[in-house]
Structures are given as structure tokens and as C-alpha cells.
A and B are shown apart, each in its own frame.
Chain A
């Protein structure tokens, strides 16, 4: 049965989102920069290579452990601009609020956006605000767009994974999704899990200074590491093998995932990146990432392989293998 209406699942970042993009959006906007489906569009203006990206933030709750919707909106777009190796410079912000939204909350959110921009070394240079009647949006939605410059010699994108590349994750996975979920209505978890929301632009520029063999960078946000690796395997037409015993997951995150039936591989991150790097540069890139304040737990989780192009496999703790597919449907809790 073909979907007649938009479902929440179309916003999950998984298979249904991809179908909507390829069926409706790509044909209408028809251009190769969009069709590459990278985190940002990369193009040249007067011989200068630029990276341009946009993202909208509708998170619920708007305040969550370790952060809020504002800093998330700044960090998220900075990261999307940076994943092609760009140096992000300027951001725009568009805010849609529901009437009755407390100024006290707005001030906290705006202030944290300013602080996040400062920390990342970028500026928010243009913006827009709109207010809609009660119920026409939920509290506050924020859109940010960002622009950055790319070294003309760089070519980092999802199509560039090569057989033999090592895959580094810059820290523990699934922190953000579980921090938010634990605070959702109806969840009464007393945990120390906080969001990992962080700007990764400095981590990226540092690694690119010491290595010219970084082939792919991507932040595994919606859909998690599992879905992101599938995107890269598909774009590059290469196989990917990761190891269950190497995946970094905090004990507290693991515990909540177990209780609620979530697989950390499909839970969102907001301050992590996946880095595909040639084996010979792996150690020094890993060392460089670990020097970043947001990369202390970085480690190698797998490699790019010849067999099964377009697919991602996991070697389990007991030595069996299973396929890691894209996320389909919202991740659902267990029933028995």
C-alpha cells in the first residue's frame, strides 16, 4: 500500500525518509549537487570551493540533559557543513515560535546559541523570527543554515570509501538519543546520560592538517551509526565490516537501550563523527581525534572490505556475522 499521507516514520532518517527524498524531492530539484546526498552541498563560486548546508530542529523536549534545542541547532549545522572538510564560517537562524512561549526559555535558548557559535569560532550573521498561534507549532522550531570554505584540493565525501580504509568513531555512541528519550514524557529514568552535542569543526581541521588520506567524514545523527554506514556503503559501493566488541557504548546508555529494546547502532548522536581513513594514516588520525575535547573515547570500529559491496556486516561477540541494515520504522520498544 502506497503511503497517502506523511507519517512520523518519514522523518526518522531511515528507509521511508530516503524513499520520500528520492521519489518527490530529487526529481523536482534535479541537480547533481543535491543528488550526491552528502551532509552539505559543495560548489565553486569564482574559483573558491564552498560548503552549504541547512537543518531544522524540532526536538522534544526542548531542554534535555546537557543541552537545549538552540545549541543543538548551531552545533548540528556546523557539523553538517564541516563533514566535507570545510571550515564553517557563518550561520543563519530561522525561529518559529508558538504564542505563549515563555521569554525566559527563549532567552536561555538564544544565549546558548551565541555561546555555541563562539565556542566553534563561527558567527550567526542573519536570521528571521515568526510567531504562530497556539497549537500551530509545538513551543519552538529552529532552522539553521551554514556556509564554509573548503580547501580546493580536498575531496571528502560519501562516495570515497576505499577497500582497506579503517573506520574510526570519535567517541561513545547513542548518548544523545538516550539522553533525550530518558527525559521524554512517560519515562522516569534517573540517569547520568547527557547529550553529546558538540561542534566538530576543530577536530576535523586538526586531522586534515596531519593527513591527506581521510576519504569520508560523516556525523551519524538520525538513524545512528548503522544507518550512516549503510549510506556510505551504498554511495561508495563497498562492503563494510564492523566489530561488536569494538563499539564504544557507555554502560548507562547500554543499560537503557537493553531495557527499552533499542539498538545503540540506530540511536542518534549529535557530537560524533565517522572517519574513513587509509590504514597507513589511521594511527595518527586517531591520535589527533583523541586530542580533541570531544574525541577522547575515539576508536577504530571496523574497515572497508571487498566483499558484499553496498552492505554493512557486524561480527558479533561470539564470532557470528549479521547484516546491519538501514533503520526501518521508528525504533520501537519491546512488547514481551
Chain B
């Protein structure tokens, strides 16, 4: 079971040529935001910062779903884990995020039934096997994960499952880009858009944004050659004074996206205002379960009392997520806040900017 068509996107000769062309092309200072945490990690993992010219600086954006999950949602997750007769299922990155005085990892050590799954559909199986318990999936993610969560709710509905629920903290990427462009002090010359998000949504959804702001915007894949290729395209646009939307990930991303996945997503979810950690409320940026499927909405079914919660003192995650600050500028970074004792979510998630800076000793 070899993964085909991956090795060529890691080819060192092709990468070297792209690096040479980037060095030849870039003459002016260029600040590019990689919107998504998967790009951030790949950039570090492949040593891409190391090979770019000094003119190009990279800012890590708000595209790490765990990082932008509001404190009140994290506290709600912990409340759910503490409920009697309840099994919590989740993707592993959420385990260590601190909320109040606890984390889901600590709750598990104290006896809560918290299970890491690799697909929301696994939660359905757990619900079937435990008919006398409530199974609650904690849904955190962007357009990449939302369709599969939607599919699991559709499946539960078809089966008539009465003990499966989803707490949704899903978010959409385009409204956040809009907010970034209008945040005082934020200066971004180009956007590297995440290929996996656009694989679902398609490039068409981003056309209005790019036409409005006329900023070099390129969709990129996650292998080193993909990223370097997208960088080169952005720099070329910038140097020529252009600001258009281009697709450097054509083997996966189309204009219309994955229509089946989008249909599932909007059969189950409707857009709503969501609170982004460090940024605040953004209209139309969240996905709530609609009336048709509301019996599966954990926040209603479990009668949760979700209260606003203050963010930890001194934590600069908000400024870091918008590119206003870099992790080493935060006074907690490395001193109090480490992957073993994370204060803010940017240090917790594997794809968080602070975790990346810490892990790779930037």
C-alpha cells in the first residue's frame, strides 16, 4: 500500500529549482500568511523557512481548529466528560487543551470515558454498542472535517439512534480571512490557502474575497514542492503588482469543490455566529446543527449551560493567530507555557503556531 504521487512532490531536485527561482524573483519584502496549521507544520517539518530568501517572511494564521476553539467550548467539553453514563469521543488533538482547571486527559485519568476516534463514524459504532449510554462526539474542525461529521449525523438519523450527539464547534475559513484584512495593525501581502479545505469548498467560494482585496492568493498542497510552487506563484504576482486567485494544487482542488460533501454539510448544518479564540465573534463563520437534525445537537439534548469564560491571563494566542505577534514575543512562551504544560491552545495542538515554534526551536 504505497502512497502514489507523493514522492515526486518531495523531490529534492525539483525543490532546488523552485528555491532558485524564488530567490531570483523576490526583490521586495513580502509577508505571506499560511492560513492553515497543516501548512505551518509542513513548512517547519521540511525546513522551508530555512531555504527562503530574507525578503519573504511567513506568518502563521488562524487555521488550526483546536487553537481557535473558544474557552467556553473547551469548558463545555470537560463538563460533558464529567457527566454520568456518558462516553465522549473526539479527535486526539483536543485531549490536552486546558479549560478551567482541567483537560480531557486529566478527566480520563480520573475515570471519565473519553475515547479518541479516527472518524466520527466510529462514534456511531460505539453508540450502537452502548445503548444505555450517551455518546457525544466533540466536533472541532473546518470544512475538511465538517462533511464527515454531517455524514455521521445523517447515518445516526437513518438508524434512528437515540443516544448519539454532536457538540459542534465547527468553523468556516473565508469569514476569518475577511476579518484579518480588516484588523488594525495586520499587514499581509499574500495568502497561502489550504488545499484540503478548498478540496471541499472549491476555489469559487474565494473569488469574491480576492476580487475585493486584490491580494495574491494561491491554493497550495502540503508537500514541500507544492508549498514552494505556491510561494513562487504568490511572489511572482506580488512582484508584478497583481492580486489574483491561483490554484497550485490542481490535482486535488477544483472550482466547484466536492459537491457531495458540501451537500451533506448543508443538509445538517446552518451557518451561525461563532466565537474564535483570540479574535472574537465572527458572523456566519460557525456551523450549527439545523432544526431538521436538532435532536442530535448535544448543546440542546444535554441541557448544557455554556457560559462565557475568560481566556488565560497573559496568553497572546489571539495576537499570534492574527499574525500581530510571533510566539517568542509572548512572555509565557517557553517559560510557563510548554507542550507539557500548555496555557493557550496554540501550544496544545500539534498544528498550533506556538507548538511548532517550540518543537522546532525557532
Contact = CB atoms under 8 A, between A and B. Distances in A.
A325 B361 contact: yes
B109 A7 contact: yes
A319 interface: yes
Contact of A335 (B46, B91, B339): B91
A335 B93 contact: yes
B182 interface: no
Nearest to B359: A325
Nearest to B93: A335
Contacts of A8: 105, 108-109
Contacts of A22: none
A333 interface: yes
Interface in B59-75: 65-66
Contacts of A187: 118
Interface string B85-112: 0000001111110100000011011100
Contacts of B277: none
Contact of A322 (B47, B110, B349): B47
Nearest to A308: B361
A260 B349 CA distance: 15
Contact of A317 (B2, B12, B122, B340): B12
A305 B361 CA distance: 18
A159 interface: no
B92 A333 contact: yes
Contacts of A258: 3, 6
Contacts of A320: 46-51
Contacts of A332: 92-93, 95, 116, 350
Nearest to A325: B359
Contact of B51 (A186, A319, A333): A319
B10 interface: yes
A306 interface: no
Interface in B332-349: 339-341, 349
Given A316-B46, A320-B51, 15 more contacts: A5-B106, A15-B340, A192-B1, A317-B15, A318-B16, A319-B50, A319-B51, A321-B47, A322-B45, A329-B340, A332-B95, A334-B91, A335-B92, A335-B145, A335-B350
A140 B93 CA distance: 30
B124 to A, nearest CB: 12
B154 interface: no
B196 interface: yes
A24 interface: no
A261 B350 contact: yes
A335 B341 CA distance: 20
Interface string B247-279: 000000000000000000000000000000000
B49 A260 contact: no
B228 interface: yes
Which 4 pairs, one residue from A and one from B, show the smallest C-beta to C-beta distance? A320-B47, A332-B92, A320-B50, A251-B2
A152 interface: no
Interface in B122-173: 122, 140-142, 144-145
A255 B2 contact: yes
B15 A9 contact: no
B56 interface: no
B105 A321 contact: no
A83 to B, nearest CB: 28
Contacts of A311: 361
Q: Is the interface of A mostly helix, strand, loop or mixed?
A: loop
Interface in B8-25: 10-12, 15-16, 19
A254 interface: yes
A322 B360 CA distance: 6
A252 interface: yes
Given A317-B46, A320-B49, A335 B224 contact: no
A28 interface: no
A328 B354 CA distance: 14
26 contacts: A1-B341, A5-B106, A5-B110, A6-B109, A7-B109, A15-B339, A186-B118, A186-B122, A254-B2, A255-B2, A255-B3, A260-B118, A261-B350, A316-B47, A317-B11, A317-B15, A318-B15, A318-B16, A318-B47, A323-B361, A325-B361, A332-B92, A333-B118, A335-B141, A335-B350, A336-B351
A192 B2 CA distance: 11
A187 B141 CA distance: 21
B196 A334 contact: no
Interface residues of B, number: 58
Interface of B: 1-3, 6, 10-12, 15-16, 19, 36-38, 44-51, 65-66, 91-96, 98, 105-106, 108-110, 116-118, 122, 140-142, 144-145, 196-197, 224-225, 228, 339-341, 349-351, 359-361
Nearest to A1: B341
Contacts of B19: 318-319
Contacts of A190: 1
Interface residues of A, number: 42
A187 to B, nearest CB: 7
A212 interface: no
Contacts of A15: 339-340
Given A255-B2, A336-B37, A245 B118 contact: no
Given A5-B109, A333-B116, A255 B1 contact: yes
Contact of B1 (A251, A317, A319, A322): A251
Interface string A232-275: 00000000000001000001101110101100000000000000
A330 B117 CA distance: 14
Nearest to A15: B340
Contact of B144 (A322, A330, A336): A336
A336 B144 CA distance: 6
A329 B97 CA distance: 12
Contacts of B228: 318
Contact of A318 (B48, B92, B350): B48
A6 B116 CA distance: 19
Contacts of A215: none
A315 B51 CA distance: 12
A218 interface: no
Contacts of A330: 92
A9 B44 CA distance: 24
Interface in A199-213: none
Nearest to B196: A336
Contact of A319 (B3, B16, B37, B92): B16
